[in-house]
Amino acid sequence: MKRFLLLLAAFFTALPAQGEPFGRGADDLAAETRAAAEEGKLLAVLFEQQDCVYCHALRNEVLTHGEAAVFEQRFRTVKVAIDVADALKTPKGDSLPSAAQWAEKLGVSGTPAFVFFDGEGGLVYRHTGTLSSPRELILLGRFIHEQAYEEAPWAAYRDAHETGNDNIR
């Protein structure tokens, strides 16, 4: 029995945290886009790199915080490593030899970068740079969900909403 419990504990520790945004990778973004649409959500892709200190800070200080899990109420989230040479399928269904090539086509100039797609794989919004807190991640989600990017840039929206209880529930 003790051995079984140890194996069970090891199995669950190896899994990404339940509800952690961007806790899993994907290489078939067309399937992810369809799944997001079926869930009534947008697809949010986090582009990151292994040696990116800002990516590590984002993951350790923002995404793993329990409060960040609310982001997944409106978005299906996946991460894509642009420094890995694996082929992938884009949200529109195109096959590309690497995530780096796709990132370049999207205009992703650095990491971390968040890119949001509608249910048909169309680019909705791109945000390059880290976020300082789970609250700022949630606020970015609200910015996308409300389509506020059509009326104001992210920095202006963020600054105008620095106080108050901003969540996307």
pLDDT at 85: 81
The Cα 21–Cα 17 span in angstroms is 9
The domain segmentation of the chain, as residue ranges, is 18-160
The Cα 166–Cα 169 span in angstroms is 9
The helix/strand/coil state of 60 is helix
Whole-prediction pTM value?
A: 0.84
The secondary structure of 120-155 as a DSSP string is TS-EEEEEES--SSHHHHHHHHHHHHTTGGGTS-HH
The helix/strand/coil state of 25 is strand
Nearest to 133 by CA among 96, 95, 166, 160: 166
Nearest to 21 by CA among 51, 50, 54, 43: 43
pLDDT at 108: 95
User: Most distant CA pair in the chain: distance in Å?
Assistant: 60
105-137 pLDDT per residue, tens: 999 999 999 999 999 999 999 999 999 999 999
Residue 7 pLDDT grade (very low, low, confident, very high; cuts 50, 70, 90): very low
pLDDT at 162: 78
The Cα 9–Cα 167 span in angstroms is 33
The CATH number of domain 18-160 is 3.40.1710.10: no
| Residue 58 clears pLDDT 80, i.e. is over it | yes
The helix/strand/coil state of 47 is strand
Bond into 91 cis (ω within 30): no
More confidently predicted of 15 and 50 = 50
